[in-house]
Structure 1
């Protein structure tokens, strides 16, 4: 009986909220639908998706490398990885974005070459560190620190007895990582990685502070001209909700595919094998 009463109350609250939202003239839903598919908004949406994909690709790649370095017994690898995590997890991402955007103040000229030898590249940092570059560096490097801990947690979640058994069978560290550890650890890694991707989608809104025309910056540009702040913010919210819904669905499908009864092919982990041989 209590469940029916609670359900009825929740239904009444939902109806009341829906009625209030639809009939409140201050939301200006006609303006929302007018700009929902505006070319400027769609261009900002495309940039948001690109930044999310690029930053997560960079972050996952760095996270894998740093995680393997952290679990390595070689201190020349584990200490730099620990320092990397300390810096990028210990400072706000907004500060990092602004820092990368103003990197030319610290390093006006960028030179790449052999120390005390020939220089292969020499150029102005202002030309290299564009808003796109600053956004990718800020988001990707910060995400790499968090992904490193996720991957490391996945590796450490595997019982050490399985690694000892694999070692007793004569497997190399690369083979143990590729065939024993990662096929099981990936099931621990995937759920938080999906959450990190959804979080990254929303974190990209911070690039508006460096004048990069993402989704939020695009709607702010329109609202600064039309003074219709609330409807344009609703446009951004609707698109963010749509994208996070799609990503959540994809995450759920991937988790289902990587269920406890599914076995990952070992050949998918050739990269990890090469990486393990490097840090062995």
Structure 2
């Protein structure tokens, strides 16, 4: 007869197995190795005199560097706002029943995705050379009602914003289109059955649901835009963070410490943007779920009412 084991909980269970937890040395070993490598890296960076940490600290809060941060953020925000608006328009055009609108959207995306952003910025920097004056008049004639120097309109700052925004809009439009296509087409059909206009359906039903898919990659594109602003020297725009640190490095002949300064600020701003992106994803997911339930309920009630009226007739 099998022996009975008396446990601390007071239960007598015959042939009870005293199981031991499985030992997993892998995480411990990996943690030790990573910690050892991290300590080696930190020690090497701290003790290496070529990093010149005193220079890094001296210029970390330099007024030109701080001003460059402000310009970098300003370019990023303006470019992303313009790019987002253009991306939504391009995505809607891409899904339009009008073949001309679809063709224009396809050509825009094809061109700006197919050429390097640096090359585009160079062209925008040469805009005043290509088009010296902007004016209004009768096309194909010499009659001109109003004109202005293009240098006064397309400044270096505006050229940088326009160049980055147009390039980013081509990529964002594909993200928006993917989000729109992820929404069940049956909801748009139900809304049309209620007599809602296409613009209203897109604004009130499709876009709110698509935002859950659009927001995460848009956050990544915003972070990418922040780093892409370092290319505006091609315009040339000479007030951003990268140029400010390069200018100081060229003046004092200390490129490595100033590169560390630029890396520090880019990493700090990127980390803040990642936190904001995470919060927006959580907020968007919860908000979209509520919006979907609300609109779906209204659509179901409305369709049932329409079907009921038809059957009564």
Is the TM-score greater than 0.5? yes
Q: Report the equivalent of 2:280.
A: 254
Cross-structure match for 2:30: 6
Alignment correspondent of 2:264: 238
Classify 1:71/1:252 alpha carbon distance in 2 versus 1 (closer, same or farther; 3 Å): same
Q: Which one of 2, 9, 29 corresponds to residue 53 of structure 2?
A: 29
Superposed CA RMSD: 2.1
Indicate the structure (1 or 2) with the bigger Cα radius of gyration.
2
The CA deviation at 1:177 is 1.2
The residue aligned with 1:87 is 111
Cα 1:59–1:176 change in 2 (3 A) is: same
Report the CA distance between 1:104 and its aligned residue: 2.0
Structure 1 SS opposite 2:44: helix
1:201 equivalent to 2:226? Answer yes
TM-score, structure 2 normalization: 0.80
Pick closer, same or farther for the CA change 1:41–1:125 going to 2, 3 Å. Answer: same
Q: Unaligned stretches of 5+ in structure 2?
A: 1-24, 295-313
Out of 73, 77, 96, the position equivalent to 1:72 is 96
| Structure 1 residue 119, shift from structure 2 partner | 4.9
Is it true that 1:122 corresponds to 2:147 in the alignment?
A: yes
Comparing 154-163 with 244-253, greater Cα deviation is found at 154-163
Question: Aligned to 1:111, what secondary structure does the other structure show?
Answer: strand
121-130 or 146-155, which moves further after superposition?
A: 121-130
Higher-RCO chain (CA-CA 8 Å, sequence separation at least 6): 1
Q: Give the drift of 1:140.
A: 0.9
User: Under a length normalisation based on structure 1, what TM-score does the superposition of the two structures give?
Assistant: 0.90
Give the aligned partner of residue 221 of structure 1.
Answer: 247
Q: Greater CA deviation, 106-115 or 124-133?
A: 106-115
Compare 109-118 and 216-225 and name the one that shifted more: 109-118
- Once residues 123 and 17 of structure 1 are traced to their aligned partners in structure 2, the CA distance between those partners, rounded to angstroms, is 57
Q: Deviations over 1:225-278 (max 9, x none)?
A: 100100000000000000000000000000011125443899xxxxxxxxxxxx
The offset of 1:112, in angstroms, is 3.0
Distance apart, 1:103 and its partner CA: 1.3
What is the deviation of 1:156? Answer: 0.7
- 1:195-248 deviations in Å (ceiling 9; x for gaps): 111000000000123142210100111111100100000000000000000000
Cα distance between partner residues in 2 of 1:140 and 1:126 = 19
Residues 137-182 of structure 1 deviation map (CA, whole Å, 9 limit, x = unaligned): 1101111111111111111111222222222233221232122211
Does residue 148 (structure 1) correspond to residue 173 (structure 2)? The answer is yes
Structure 1 residue 263 and structure 2 residue 291: aligned? yes
From 111, 120, 123, the equivalent of 1:99 is 123
User: Which ranges in structure 1 are unaligned for 5 or more consecutive residues?
Assistant: 267-280
Secondary structure of 2:285 counterpart: coil
Give the distance between the partners of 2:280 and 2:290, measured in 1 at CA: 11
Aligned residues: 267
DSSP 3-state at the match of 1:170: coil
Q: For the structure 1 residues 57 and 119, does the alpha-carbon distance in structure 2 shift closer, same or farther, using more than 3 Å as the test?
A: farther
